[in-house]
Amino acid sequence: MDALTPREIVQELDKYIVGQHQAKRAVAIALRNRWRRQQLPPELRDEVAPKNIIMIGPTGVGKTEIARRLATLAHSPFLKVEASKFTEVGYVGRDVESMIRDLVELGKNMVQQEEIQRVQTRAAEVAEERLLDLLLPHPPQSLRDEGQILLDDLGQQQYQKTREKFRQYLHDGKLDERFVEMEVQDNAFPSIEVVSGSGVEDMGIHIKDMLGNFFPQRKKRRKAKVPDALQLLVQEEAQKLIDMDSVVKEAVQRVEQSGIIFLDELDKIAGRERSTGPDVSREGVQRDLLPIVEGSTVNTKYGMVKTDHILFIAAGAFHVAKPSDLIPELQGRFPIRVELHALGRDDFVRILREPQNALLKQYTALLATEGIDLTFTDEAIDELAHIAERVNQHTENIGARRLYTILERLLDDLSFTAPDRAERTVVIDRPYVTERLEEVVKSEDLSHYIL
């Protein structure tokens, strides 16, 4: 799976994002390079540093969307964070190292899930036996001891037969409505307020871990329907079957070798020498970021994690601040720059109809749940794209996000009246579009507020 070629990666991204070929290419190459590196002999592998990327482009043109879709393709621990939410060490807020801790946590969950998947069959078998025990308790020992040997054997046989019958019922779903009472682990923790904030937050985690081991595992009895009970038991058994130590080891390994961090809004921490107000820590954040991007070791609750080979993909509008406003060391750490283009009418037409999650598809599906058959004519779509472009030019260019506001406005009436309409087929054509939107588009004031 992780052996998608760059071309295939771009193809996958094409399903959701229109245009922006440069950016797709760059991230595809970066992703493929992770895989290439894995194939190298160890001596050389350590030498190959990731080529970090900055995606530059105005708002609403697909930067974050590319990252989101890439995440599902990457099959490696992938974290998306907003650079703007970090603050310099010592200030209130999150310190940059927390992103490595988060990434490891993600990696751990990922490996754990895979392991659980791997032991699923075995866990399901054991869980089924446990559930049958609950449904049909073994005949008490004392009874069995008392009777004659012959009778005992007979009873035993009888029991087995009934048990198999129950098993069949279970498979056929005949017991689905039954309740069983069972013991489950009580994960609810005696409530302790954990102060969250840089440093302290990390301590919070440790305290929880420590106390978790300190208190005996609490069990509580609860009733559950058979299918739910089975699921709970499978989970419990799966957890017992996997070795958390090796999961953690594998997770750390995977994060170090193939982790990817998407640093959104990098431009928000660009800018130097501004020492008033909220800007005070911007450069500080960049300085904190530097060692992590360059490669250092971060202490996490799963052990030390080396960041040398983690790939960073940054993005930002860079409207006010420019990449050259980043501190020079950091600029050097992001050698690849790709630009995303502002979107125009033709892009909007395609965005409206082509992506797998295209807006028009969404609205059509939503209204179909009300029994309404909604269609858009080509001219209507063209008009919508045209309006989006115009409003973007005249007010503020918010890229494809403009389509959301416009469509919401366009379908406002229909959304409200859908359940009560007699007419079940609705065709949106050009006149429909102009009728609903012309007023708002013409008046710049109205556009500002409504679209």
Ligand X SMILES: Nc1ncnc2c1ncn2[C@@H]1O[C@H](COP(=O)(O)OP(=O)(O)OP(=O)(O)O)[C@@H](O)[C@H]1O
CB of 264 to Mg ion, least distance (A): 5
CB of 359 to ligand X, least distance (A): 8
| Listed ranges 306-314, 398-406, 415-423, 436-444: which one lies at the site for ligand X (CB under 6 A) | 398-406
| Partner whose binding site includes residue 400, from Mg ion, ligand X, none (CB under 5 to 8 Å by kind) | ligand X
Give the total of residues touching Mg ion (CB under 5 A).
2
* Half-sphere CA count of 19, side-chain side, radius 13 A: 20
318: left (phi over 0), alpha (psi -120 to 50) or beta: left
DSSP tag of 139: P
Widest distance between CA atoms in the chain: 97
53 binds ligand X (CB under 6 A): no
The closest of 82, 101, 92 to 281, measured between CA atoms, is 92
Six token digits for residue 153 = 């054997």
Rg for the chain, CA atoms, rounded: 29
Six token digits for residue 123 = 């866990």
64 binds Mg ion (CB under 5 A): yes
* Alpha-carbon gap, residue 157 to 295, rounded angstroms: 66
20 binds ligand X (CB under 6 A): yes
CB of 197 to ligand X, least distance (A): 26
401 binds ligand X (CB under 6 A): yes
59 binds ligand X (CB under 6 A): yes
| Partner whose binding site includes residue 50, from Mg ion, ligand X, none (CB under 5 to 8 Å by kind) | none
231 binds Mg ion (CB under 5 A): no
Residue from 4, 30, 31, 61 touching ligand X (CB under 6 A): that is 61
Burial classification of residue 421, based on how many CB atoms lie within 10 Å of its CB (0-12 exposed, 13-18 middle, 19 or more buried): middle
CB of 204 to ligand X, least distance (A): 30
DSSP tag of 247: H
Q: What angle do CA 275, 276, 280 make, to 5 degrees?
A: 55
| Listed ranges 11-19, 79-87, 247-255, 269-277: which one lies at the site for ligand X (CB under 6 A) | 11-19
Q: Measure CA 23 to chain center.
A: 21
CB of 64 to Mg ion, least distance (A): 3
CB of 69 to ligand X, least distance (A): 9
Residue from 22, 64, 231, 364 touching ligand X (CB under 6 A): that is 64
Query: What are the beta bridge partners of residue 220?
Result: 184
Residues that bind ligand X (CB under 6 A): 17-20, 57, 59-65, 317, 351, 355, 399-401
Residues that bind Mg ion (CB under 5 A): 63-64
